[in-house]
Amino acid sequence: MPRDSKSRTSDPQNISLTNESSSSERPSHFVENALWDQPSYYRVLRRSHPANTIVGVRGVAVGGTELTIMAGPCAVESPQQLIAAAEHAAAGGAHLLRGGAFKLRTSPYSFSGLGEAALKLLSEARRVSGLPIVTEVVDEESVLLAAAHADMLQIGTRNMHNYVLLKQAAATGKPILLKRGMAATLEEFLNAAEYIMAAGNDQVVLCERGIRTFSDFTRNTLDLNIVPALKQLSHLPVITDPSHGTGRRDLVAPMARASIAAGADGVLLEMHPDPEKALSDGYQSLDPDEFTELVSDLARLAPIVGRTLSVRGK
């Protein structure tokens, strides 16, 4: 819904995005023309903030020249599993450790995470590995628990449209990793990010994690088109998740490389010390050697696209 002229004039940033401007000022890009006529969001737009936003996660900068590697198991399963994953992630060049404590599974009978116990294990894994931690929140209780332990809160694909949760997560002041809804349009995705920013939190990283299409040889279809489209339209960092985007271990590395070539600021990779034994998403998880090899490939690719990736772990 377009904001009315009253709210536009009371907008502290005083940004005009509607048909008040002459048509000659309008950008030719189709999507931005659509926005112009229906300005349901503006804080996320590069038009209101031309410089790239750098999101700081406990000292790690996301969205700068250095590419960001987030890695870890889909779910935190045990102290041994998580500490091994954290050590492999750090040694292989990850900047952030990601592990799920609260898992939203398609089947109600699947492993749904260790909850608060997993958050304590993540804190311990941060101490051991030195990597800041990222974990998903699913409801108000998990937001409060995760905010006490984690350095960045993830909103998953199933909750991108949960505006109450977006506001609750935003209110913690923690940086937010916002995954695209599996059937969300670009505008719905940007509006979800706008909810977080409108709640006073400008530390948002957008994550393309694959969308539903007719294509059934992969779990989802990683929509790389949206990466440069988002980078043009928005100042927020954009990463991809080729693990969920493909659902196939053999396709993760090529699609991670393609993501960086398309201009992504980093990748989120599921990596498990023993993927065959994983309780969640093992079929799309890299093993530690595959992870290490992929990060060094990305480090070789980085300068070609004007980025850096220093593999610090070795």
Q: Build a one-symbol-per-residue string for 69-108: x at contacts with Mn ion by CB under 5 A, - elsewhere.
A: -----x----------------------------------
Asked if 245 interacts with ligand PEP (CB under 6 A), we say no
Strand 60-62 to 55-57 pairing: antiparallel
Which residue number, 270 or 290, has a Cβ lying nearer to ligand PEP?
Answer: 270
Nearer residue to Mn ion within complex by CB, 186 or 286: 286
Q: End-to-end distance of the chain based on CA atoms, in angstroms?
A: 51
Choose the binding region for ligand PEP from 5-13, 89-97, 151-159, 191-199 (rule: CB under 6 A).
151-159
Report 262-281 residues binding Mn ion (CB under 5 A): 281
Where in 35-94 is the site for ligand PEP (CB under 6 A)?
74
**Residue 142 touches ligand PEP, criterion: CB under 6 A:** no
For residue 102, the minimal CB distance to ligand PEP (Å) is 10
Q: Which stretch binds ligand PEP (CB under 6 A): 116-124, 150-158, 195-203, 259-267?
A: 150-158
| Smallest separation (angstroms) from Mn ion to the CB of 233 | 27
Q: CB within 8 A of 127, min separation 6: which ones? A: none
Least distance from ligand PEP to the Cβ atom of residue 44, Å: 20
Indicate which single residue of 209, 231, 235, 249 sits in contact with ligand PEP (rule: CB under 6 A): 209
Give the x/- contact pattern for ligand PEP in 167-206, rule: CB under 6 A.
------------x---------------------------
